[in-house]
Structure 1
C-alpha cells in the first residue's frame, strides 16, 4: 500500500487488530461469519478505513487495517464494535443475551502497529535530516 493523503497530510498508519466475542464464545461461523465480514467491511468504508487483510475465525477476528491519522484507534474500535453489535443483533436476535443486551464483543482488543521500517531506519533518517538541516542552516548564515 502506498502512502495515502488527506488535505495537507501524507500518511501510512497500519494496524493489526484482534478482538473476540464476549467470553470468547465460538459463534462466528456460517451465516453469522458472513454477516460479520460484510458488516465490518461496510463500517470500515464509512470511516475511510482500508482493510488490507482480515479473517473472521470461530472465536476471534483479525484485521489488518489502515486507519487515517485523524481517527484514533480506540475511537475506531469503539465505533466498530458498537455499531457491528447493533447491526448483528438486527440480523441475528438469537445472539442477544437476556442479561447483557449491549455486549456481543468482549471489552478489550489487541492492537499493534505494522510497518516495513525498523527503529534503526527511523533513527538514521532523523539523524540524516538533522544533519541536512544543520548544513542548510550553515549555508544560509554564510551568505
Structure 2
C-alpha cells in the first residue's frame, strides 16, 4: 500500500487503526441480511465522520475493520462510534437480535495502530537524531 498523507487543519497525518470486535457471547448472529445491512451501516458511519474504510470483513461471530480516522479521534473512540451506531440500528431493524442477546456487542474490542513504518524504525530514528543534525546547527534539548 502506498503512503497516504492526509491533511486536517493544523496537521498532516497517516493514521490507520485495525479494530476487531465480537457479538456478545461470540454468538454467530452476523450472517445473511444482517451482514449486508451491517456493511452498509459501517460505510455510512465512515462517510459521515470523514473516516476512510480501507477494508473490513464481517464474519458470523466477529468483525474486522481497517479504518483511517482523523488525528483527533482516539482508537477507542473510533471503535465505540462504529459499534454503538451499528448496534442501535441493527437491533431496531432485526427483532431476533433483541431477543437472542441482551446487548449486541461484547464490551471488549481489539485495536492496533497501523502505520507506514515499524516501531523499530521509529526507535532507531529517535535514538540517532543527533547523529543526523547538520554541522553547526540545531539545539539540543
TM-score bucket of the superposed structures, by smaller chain: 0.7 to 0.9
Aligned counterparts of 2:52 and 2:7: Cα–Cα separation in 1: 13
1:91 paired residue number? 93
2:112 paired residue number? 112
Whether the 8 Å CA contact 2:42–2:86 is kept in 1: the answer is: yes
SS of aligned partner of 1:63: strand
Which stretch of the first structure deviates more once superposed, 69-78 or 121-130?
121-130
* Cα deviation, residue 110, structure 1: 0.7
| Number of residue pairs aligned between Structure 1 and Structure 2 | 136
Mark the structure with the bigger radius of gyration.
1
* Cα deviation, residue 79, structure 1: 1.8
Higher strand share: 2
Structure 1, unaligned stretches of length 5 or more?
A: 139-143
Higher helix share: 1
Whether the 8 Å CA contact 2:21–2:109 is kept in 1: the answer is: yes
2:137 paired residue number? 136
Structure 2, unaligned stretches of length 5 or more?
A: none
The CA RMSD over aligned residues, in Å, is 2.1
- Runs ≥4 in structure 1, deviation > 4 angstroms? none
* Cα deviation, residue 116, structure 1: 3.2
Deviations 1:25-78 (A, max 9, x none): 111111000011111111111121111111001110011111211111112222
Deviations 1:95-139 (A, max 9, x none): 103773xx111111011111231233213333454442774237x
- 1:119–1:95 Cα change, 3 Å: closer
